[in-house]
Amino acid sequence: MSKQYVYSLYDAKTGALRAKGTPQELMEQGYYNRAESVCTGYAHQKKKKAKPKKWRLEREEKQPKPKAEPDHRTGTQMREVWLYSMFDADGNLLHEGAAAELVEKGLFKNTQTVTNVFYAGHCRPQGIYSLTRKRIRRGVLCNAPGARSSVPKKSRPPITGIEKPDELQRDVHELCLYNAAARKAGKKELSYGYWAAEGKPEAPA
Protein backbone atom coordinates (compact mmCIF):
# COMPACT_ATOMS: atom_id res chain seq x y z
CA MET A 1 0.00 0.00 0.00
CA SER A 2 1.42 3.37 -1.00
CA LYS A 3 1.96 5.99 1.66
CA GLN A 4 -0.50 8.85 2.03
CA TYR A 5 0.47 12.27 3.30
CA VAL A 6 -1.18 15.20 5.05
CA TYR A 7 0.13 18.58 3.88
CA SER A 8 0.40 21.78 5.95
CA LEU A 9 0.04 24.98 3.93
CA TYR A 10 1.85 28.04 5.31
CA ASP A 11 1.78 31.64 4.10
CA ALA A 12 5.22 32.21 2.55
CA LYS A 13 5.40 35.81 3.84
CA THR A 14 3.97 35.57 7.36
CA GLY A 15 4.56 31.90 8.11
CA ALA A 16 0.95 31.54 9.32
CA LEU A 17 -0.71 28.15 8.90
CA ARG A 18 -3.54 28.54 6.37
CA ALA A 19 -4.74 24.98 5.89
CA LYS A 20 -3.96 21.35 6.53
CA GLY A 21 -5.19 18.26 4.74
CA THR A 22 -4.71 15.75 1.97
CA PRO A 23 -4.14 16.97 -1.61
CA GLN A 24 -7.82 16.27 -2.37
CA GLU A 25 -8.95 18.30 0.66
CA LEU A 26 -6.69 21.25 -0.22
CA MET A 27 -8.12 21.22 -3.74
CA GLU A 28 -11.70 21.14 -2.40
CA GLN A 29 -10.89 24.11 -0.16
CA GLY A 30 -9.88 26.10 -3.23
CA TYR A 31 -6.13 26.40 -2.64
CA TYR A 32 -5.22 24.36 -5.72
CA ASN A 33 -6.94 23.59 -9.01
CA ARG A 34 -5.77 19.98 -8.99
CA ALA A 35 -4.80 17.59 -6.21
CA GLU A 36 -1.67 16.63 -8.14
CA SER A 37 -0.43 20.21 -7.93
CA VAL A 38 0.03 19.83 -4.16
CA CYS A 39 2.40 16.88 -4.58
CA THR A 40 4.35 18.44 -7.44
CA GLY A 41 4.55 21.77 -5.59
CA TYR A 42 6.01 20.06 -2.52
CA ALA A 43 8.52 18.10 -4.61
CA HIS A 44 9.54 21.28 -6.47
CA GLN A 45 10.17 23.16 -3.21
CA LYS A 46 12.30 20.35 -1.80
CA LYS A 47 14.26 19.93 -5.03
CA LYS A 48 14.97 23.59 -5.73
CA LYS A 49 15.31 24.58 -2.05
CA ALA A 50 14.22 28.06 -3.10
CA LYS A 51 12.04 30.36 -1.00
CA PRO A 52 8.41 29.86 -2.09
CA LYS A 53 6.52 32.87 -3.44
CA LYS A 54 3.02 32.17 -2.07
CA TRP A 55 2.75 28.91 -0.11
CA ARG A 56 5.28 26.89 1.85
CA LEU A 57 4.40 23.19 2.05
CA GLU A 58 5.27 20.66 4.73
CA ARG A 59 3.97 17.12 4.91
CA GLU A 60 3.67 14.19 7.29
CA GLU A 61 2.59 10.61 6.77
CA LYS A 62 -1.14 10.12 7.23
CA GLN A 63 -1.99 7.75 10.06
CA PRO A 64 -4.82 5.24 9.59
CA LYS A 65 -8.07 6.36 11.21
CA PRO A 66 -9.51 4.21 13.98
CA LYS A 67 -13.00 2.97 13.29
CA ALA A 68 -15.64 5.23 14.83
CA GLU A 69 -17.46 3.28 17.50
CA PRO A 70 -20.18 4.47 19.89
CA ASP A 71 -19.20 5.01 23.51
CA HIS A 72 -21.90 2.96 25.26
CA ARG A 73 -21.26 4.70 28.58
CA THR A 74 -21.85 8.25 27.35
CA GLY A 75 -23.90 7.65 24.20
CA THR A 76 -21.38 9.48 22.01
CA GLN A 77 -19.65 8.63 18.75
CA MET A 78 -16.33 10.00 17.54
CA ARG A 79 -16.66 11.92 14.27
CA GLU A 80 -14.52 14.33 12.25
CA VAL A 81 -15.54 18.00 12.15
CA TRP A 82 -13.92 21.26 11.01
CA LEU A 83 -12.63 23.36 13.92
CA TYR A 84 -12.44 27.07 13.02
CA SER A 85 -10.07 29.52 14.74
CA MET A 86 -10.67 33.24 14.16
CA PHE A 87 -8.19 36.03 14.96
CA ASP A 88 -8.21 39.82 15.25
CA ALA A 89 -5.79 42.25 13.54
CA ASP A 90 -3.13 41.59 16.22
CA GLY A 91 -3.36 37.82 15.87
CA ASN A 92 -5.33 37.29 19.09
CA LEU A 93 -7.83 34.44 19.13
CA LEU A 94 -11.41 35.76 19.03
CA HIS A 95 -13.57 32.69 18.43
CA GLU A 96 -13.03 28.96 18.07
CA GLY A 97 -15.38 26.09 17.40
CA ALA A 98 -17.17 23.99 14.80
CA ALA A 99 -19.43 25.81 12.34
CA ALA A 100 -22.59 24.68 14.14
CA GLU A 101 -21.19 25.87 17.48
CA LEU A 102 -20.36 29.32 16.07
CA VAL A 103 -23.91 29.57 14.75
CA GLU A 104 -25.34 28.53 18.14
CA LYS A 105 -23.32 31.34 19.76
CA GLY A 106 -25.08 33.81 17.47
CA LEU A 107 -21.90 34.80 15.63
CA PHE A 108 -23.17 33.70 12.21
CA LYS A 109 -26.55 33.15 10.57
CA ASN A 110 -25.82 29.60 9.37
CA THR A 111 -22.98 27.14 8.79
CA GLN A 112 -22.68 28.15 5.13
CA THR A 113 -21.81 31.70 6.24
CA VAL A 114 -18.95 30.30 8.34
CA THR A 115 -17.62 28.49 5.27
CA ASN A 116 -17.95 31.62 3.13
CA VAL A 117 -16.03 33.70 5.70
CA PHE A 118 -13.27 31.07 5.75
CA TYR A 119 -12.83 31.24 1.98
CA ALA A 120 -12.93 35.05 2.07
CA GLY A 121 -10.15 34.98 4.67
CA HIS A 122 -11.69 37.66 6.91
CA CYS A 123 -14.87 39.27 8.23
CA ARG A 124 -13.94 42.87 9.08
CA PRO A 125 -17.41 43.88 10.43
CA GLN A 126 -16.91 41.31 13.22
CA GLY A 127 -13.24 42.19 13.72
CA ILE A 128 -12.03 38.94 12.15
CA TYR A 129 -8.86 39.57 10.14
CA SER A 130 -7.70 35.99 9.61
CA LEU A 131 -8.87 32.47 10.31
CA THR A 132 -7.78 28.86 9.99
CA ARG A 133 -9.50 25.52 10.24
CA LYS A 134 -8.45 21.94 10.84
CA ARG A 135 -10.03 18.51 11.04
CA ILE A 136 -10.50 17.15 14.55
CA ARG A 137 -12.19 14.10 16.03
CA ARG A 138 -14.94 14.96 18.48
CA GLY A 139 -17.57 13.08 20.43
CA VAL A 140 -21.08 13.58 19.03
CA LEU A 141 -24.16 12.52 20.98
CA CYS A 142 -25.97 9.51 19.55
CA ASN A 143 -28.76 7.20 20.67
CA ALA A 144 -27.91 4.67 23.36
CA PRO A 145 -28.01 0.99 22.30
CA GLY A 146 -31.59 -0.22 22.09
CA ALA A 147 -33.03 3.25 22.54
CA ARG A 148 -35.55 4.54 20.03
CA SER A 149 -35.11 7.90 18.45
CA SER A 150 -37.84 10.35 19.43
CA VAL A 151 -37.90 11.71 15.89
CA PRO A 152 -38.26 9.05 13.18
CA LYS A 153 -35.76 9.43 10.38
CA LYS A 154 -37.28 10.34 7.05
CA SER A 155 -36.83 7.75 4.34
CA ARG A 156 -34.47 8.81 1.57
CA PRO A 157 -35.28 8.11 -2.11
CA PRO A 158 -33.26 5.08 -3.28
CA ILE A 159 -30.62 5.16 -6.00
CA THR A 160 -32.20 3.78 -9.16
CA GLY A 161 -30.37 1.98 -11.94
CA ILE A 162 -27.37 0.98 -9.79
CA GLU A 163 -27.50 -2.39 -8.06
CA LYS A 164 -24.56 -1.89 -5.67
CA PRO A 165 -23.59 1.81 -5.53
CA ASP A 166 -20.14 2.66 -4.18
CA GLU A 167 -19.44 5.43 -1.67
CA LEU A 168 -18.92 8.13 -4.31
CA GLN A 169 -22.16 7.22 -6.09
CA ARG A 170 -24.04 7.40 -2.79
CA ASP A 171 -22.47 10.79 -2.07
CA VAL A 172 -23.48 12.13 -5.49
CA HIS A 173 -27.02 10.87 -4.91
CA GLU A 174 -27.18 12.57 -1.49
CA LEU A 175 -25.77 15.80 -2.94
CA CYS A 176 -28.48 15.81 -5.63
CA LEU A 177 -31.13 15.41 -2.91
CA TYR A 178 -29.53 18.23 -0.90
CA ASN A 179 -29.49 20.62 -3.87
CA ALA A 180 -33.10 19.71 -4.72
CA ALA A 181 -34.08 20.67 -1.16
CA ALA A 182 -31.99 23.86 -1.46
CA ARG A 183 -33.78 24.88 -4.66
CA LYS A 184 -37.15 24.21 -3.05
CA ALA A 185 -36.22 26.36 -0.04
CA GLY A 186 -34.77 29.10 -2.23
CA LYS A 187 -31.26 28.55 -0.87
CA LYS A 188 -27.88 28.25 -2.55
CA GLU A 189 -26.88 24.94 -4.08
CA LEU A 190 -23.49 23.51 -3.13
CA SER A 191 -20.68 21.89 -5.07
CA TYR A 192 -19.37 18.54 -3.84
CA GLY A 193 -16.37 20.17 -2.12
CA TYR A 194 -18.43 22.66 -0.12
CA TRP A 195 -21.05 20.02 0.72
CA ALA A 196 -18.40 17.57 1.97
CA ALA A 197 -16.71 20.32 4.00
CA GLU A 198 -20.00 20.96 5.81
CA GLY A 199 -20.23 17.32 6.87
CA LYS A 200 -22.48 16.13 4.01
CA PRO A 201 -25.80 17.43 5.44
CA GLU A 202 -29.09 15.96 4.21
CA ALA A 203 -30.77 19.36 3.84
CA PRO A 204 -29.87 23.08 4.07
CA ALA A 205 -29.78 24.60 7.56
Same domain, 131 and 76: yes
Tens of pLDDT, residues 104-140: 888 888 888 898 889 889 988 889 999 999 988 876 5
Distance CA 199, CA 169 (A): 17
Torsion on CA atoms 160, 164, 165, 170, rounded to nearest 10: 80
Pairing relation of β-strands 93-97 and 5-11? unpaired
Look up residue 60 and give its amino acid: E
3-class secondary structure, 122: coil
Q: What is the domain extent for residue 199?
A: 158-205
Q: Is the pLDDT reported for residue 148 higher than 60?
A: no
* 148 found inside a domain: no
Are 30 and 119 contacting, i.e. CB atoms less than 8 angstroms apart? yes
Q: What is the pTM of this model?
A: 0.37
Single-letter amino acid, residue 135: R
Q: Exposure of 130 by Cβ count < 10 A (0-12 exposed, 13-18 middle, 19+ buried)?
A: middle
* Domain final residue, candidates 113, 141, 169: 141
Task: Provide the edge-to-edge strand list for the sheet that holds 17-21.
Answer: 17-21, 5-11, 55-61
Structure confidence at residue 66 (pLDDT): 59
Residue 92 has pLDDT above 60, yes or no: yes
- Contact (Cβ atoms closer than 8 angstroms) between residue 96 and residue 83: yes
Kindly report, residue by residue over 20-31, the tens digit of the pLDDT: 888 888 888 888
Q: Do residues 42 and 84 share a domain?
A: no
Answer for the pair 127, 88: CB distance below 8 angstroms, yes or no: yes
**Do 78 and 131 lie in a common domain?**
yes
Which residue, among 134, 138, 196, 145, has the nearest Cα to 167 in the 3D structure?
196
Asked whether the beta carbons of 85 and 96 are under 8 A apart, the reply is yes
Give the pLDDT confidence score for residue 151 in this predicted structure.
44
Same domain, 53 and 10: yes
Residues recorded for the chain: 205
Residues 126 and 78 reside in one and the same domain: yes
Mean pLDDT check: name the lowest of 40-54, 97-111, 152-166. 152-166
Our count of domains for the chain comes to 3
Whether 56 and 74 map to the same domain: the answer is no
- If asked whether residues 22 and 47 sit together in one domain, one would say yes
**Judgement on whether residues 55 and 83 belong to the same structural domain of the protein:** no
| Secondary structure element (H or E) that encloses residue 195, with its range | helix 192-197
Q: Give the tens place of pLDDT for each residue, 78-91.
A: 778 899 999 998 88
Q: What backbone torsions phi and psi does residue 170 show, to the nearest 5 degrees?
A: -65, -40
Looking at per-residue pLDDT, the higher value among 32 and 77 belongs to: 32
152 domain-assigned: no
Per-residue pLDDT band for 144 (boundaries 50, 70, 90) equals: very low
